[in-house]
Chain A
Amino acid sequence: MNILEVSALNIFYSKSRIPVVEEVSFFLPAGKTLALVGESGCGKSLTGLAIMRLLPTGLEITGGQIHFENKNLLELSPEEMRRVRGGKIAMIFQDPMVSLNPVFTVGTQIAEVLELHRGLGRQKALAEAERLLAEVGLPAPKARLKAYPHELSGGMRQRVMIAMALAGNPKVLIADEPTTALDVTIQAQILALLASLKEKHNLSVLLISHDLGVVATLADLVAVMYAGRLVEKAPCEELFSKPLHPYTRALLEVLPRPEKKSLKPLPGQVPPPGARPAGCKFSDRCPSAQKKCFEKEPPWQEVFPRHWVRCFYVSDA
């Protein structure tokens, strides 16, 4: 069963009508982790924000549907959406210093979610907040309720963010680069925490990341984005062992590894919206592009069971 279904999502710049995200479709199966992978500017974060209906001003959803619990989120009233957001669908961001309010204590901020989404009174909410902080592994949770975000380290702040996300008893957790701002030893702790919470609460997770190591650690399914489109989607093991799209293959080849002698970098860079090539959006950097690729956009098709690719010349690698 899929808990979240995004179909043919389009996001445009409101003024210039330049497309930023186009025809993005994916399903998030219940209890699974789907990773959206790509480099900056590919539209992965915007896709996450669109699900929460939190797109920044100047961008708008111009088409598509986002189904959650038999409802199209895009058709909910602002009031109904507020109840979903932070409740059944929660989100954590890259930089917990920016996402936490610096003038309120950690306890107040978590209690607010509990009062809003679970109708608890202040005292009960604070007790529950303490339990949540303990659950996410924050040392001395009772004392931390009175701490302000600046008094905590980056890792602790991210734990607070996760506690706050759990406060609404979510079914879906959208984690946008949850460990990118953290040191690698702290990242390992947060990844282990996310993995255990997902099991314990039967969460379905949409993980947004540029880091293939993080993706390989947490994901059941991986969707690769490039220039506002999905270019490949497959079960995690299959995507890493049998990447079919030239961009996915390039992403794996450019990773510096101790055993590699040299890298085979792609030329150029990700084109910004408005400067994307006609035809296949990867055609200008693709090592195996043919004439057809510059003229027509390849369709999004299931070439093997559960393995989707947007490429005319899928080679069986």
Chain B
Amino acid sequence: MSVMLEFRKVSKVYYLRRGFLAPKKPFYALRNIDLAVHENEVLGILGESGCGKSTLARLALGLETPEEGEVLLEGINFSALSEKERRKLRRKIQIVFQDPYASLNPRKKIYDLLAEPLIIHQLVPKKDLRARVGAMLTKVGLREEDMERYPHQFSGGQRQRIAIARALILSPRVLVLDEPTSALDVSVQAQILELLREFKEKSKLTYVFISHDLPLVLFLSNRVAVMYLGRVVEISPAESFMARPHHPYTKMLLESVPEPDPYKRKLPKVKGEPPDPTLEFSGCPFFPRCEKALSSCEKEVPGLREISKGHLVACHSL
């Protein structure tokens, strides 16, 4: 199993100004991320807002450059490349965003939206473009004639199919899915999930599936990485995730998800809120909310340790 995409000690800093005259403060969106995505797997990235999961996606696509560390796609470092080479490499990794109302240019026909990547990367002779776009549309469950229409003529679910078609038309190796169903109703979400699942079964695509929704991530993924405040706190195979989550934050997440079953009703005691990410602190990011915190948690950041095969946890109390 070869590594498709790799993050090596990656940190990403943004500088934020809080108020008109206030000095800019560094804000670590990602801190020291070590993560490998293997060929042909679905890696789920689970986390709440502000945990850095979308920044991770932007770095994976080479849309942002990390301040520290490197991001490698099939062993090639994005930041070491020229803009031209970077663009070429990007063909191999594509993304589907959350909001299909914002990610499709409303003034372009579906044909133009789907043909543009092919033209930019000069993959298909001009005379074959229409056939290629038509074939892609049928693959995602739309009709060939839909290429003559505009995005506003489609529903949210159909637009997300178009976004998936646009990503897949370049035959990428890795598909990053950043909350691809969060804007959709459950019945439409199921259609998109099934489409993604079927594509996965048929091809050797690698997925990075980013979501805040735990059951959703576990449904689609082989492995799950849990993020909290810019760090990966746990990586686990999806099968054993429910049975033995080890990080206290992962446990909190699992307890918090309400079960769609009145016989399993629970009202857990959940402590605190995530702290302001611009504040500097030296210890474990979860320390202020953690039930199991030790004195060392306040001073020292725990690193990821393998506690059983393929299961890594960043916690001092284990």
Contacts and interface: CB of A to CB of B under 8 A. Distances in A.
B106 interface: no
Contacts of A251: 186-187
Contacts of A184: 48, 212, 214, 253, 256-257
B186 A254 contact: yes
Interface stretch (A140-148, A265-273, A308-316): A265-273
B252 interface: yes
Contacts of A252: 260
Interface stretch (B111-119, B162-170, B268-276): B268-276
A257 B220 CA distance: 9
Interface stretch (A2-10, A128-136, A188-196, A295-303): A188-196
Q: Quick one: which of A156, A237, A258, A269 has the most chain B CB within 10 A?
A: A258
A258 B190 CA distance: 14
Contacts of B255: 188
Contacts of B256: 184-185, 187-188
Interface stretch (A23-31, A169-177, A205-213): A205-213
B187 A240 contact: no
A258 B238 contact: yes
Interface stretch (B58-66, B76-84, B191-199): B191-199
Contacts of B194: 262-263, 265
Contact of B262 (A156, A240, A255): A240
A228 interface: no
Interface string A247-260: 00011101111101
Contacts of A216: 258-262, 264-265
Nearest to A272: B155
Contacts of B193: 256, 263, 265
A269 B188 contact: yes
A49 interface: no
Interface in B166-188: 185-188
Given A183-B48, A188-B258, A256 B265 contact: no
B266 interface: yes
A16 B85 CA distance: 56
The 9 closest A-B pairs by CB, nearest first: A213-B258, A254-B190, A265-B190, A258-B218, A256-B219, A188-B256, A212-B260, A183-B48, A39-B185
Contact of A213 (B49, B259, B273): B259
Nearest to A285: B187
Interface of A: 39-40, 153, 155-156, 183-189, 191-192, 195, 210-217, 219, 236-237, 240-241, 250-252, 254-258, 260, 262-267, 269-270
Contacts, number: 125
Contacts of B197: 262
Given A217-B267, A237-B262, A256-B219, 4 more contacts: A185-B256, A211-B258, A212-B260, A216-B258
5 contacts: A184-B257, A189-B270, A213-B257, A217-B267, A262-B194
A248 to B, nearest CB: 12
A236 B238 CA distance: 31
Contacts of A237: 262-263
Nearest to B267: A192
Nearest to A40: B185
Nearest to A267: B191
Interface string B211-224: 01111101110000
A205 B261 CA distance: 19
Given A192-B267, A269-B155, A236 B262 contact: yes
B268 A39 contact: no
Contacts of A186: 270, 273
A241 B263 CA distance: 9
B315 to A, nearest CB: 17
A296 B270 CA distance: 49
A152 B153 CA distance: 39
A270 B267 CA distance: 32
A195 B265 CA distance: 12
Nearest to B265: A217
A269 B267 contact: no
A255 B215 contact: yes
B268 A188 contact: yes
B28 to A, nearest CB: 19
B157 to A, nearest CB: 6
B134 to A, nearest CB: 22
B242 interface: yes
B55 interface: no
B189 interface: yes
A185 B252 contact: yes
Interface string B66-102: 0000000000000000000000000000000000000
B109 to A, nearest CB: 22
Nearest to B141: A267
Contacts of B264: 216
A258 B218 CA distance: 5
A187 B258 CA distance: 9
Contacts of B185: 39-40, 210, 269-270
Nearest to A195: B267
Nearest to A187: B256
Contacts of A155: 273
B216 A256 contact: yes
Q: Quick one: which of A185, A187, A188, A216 has the most chain B CB within 10 A?
A: A185
Given A251-B186, A254-B190, A188 B270 contact: yes
Contacts of A254: 186-187, 189-190
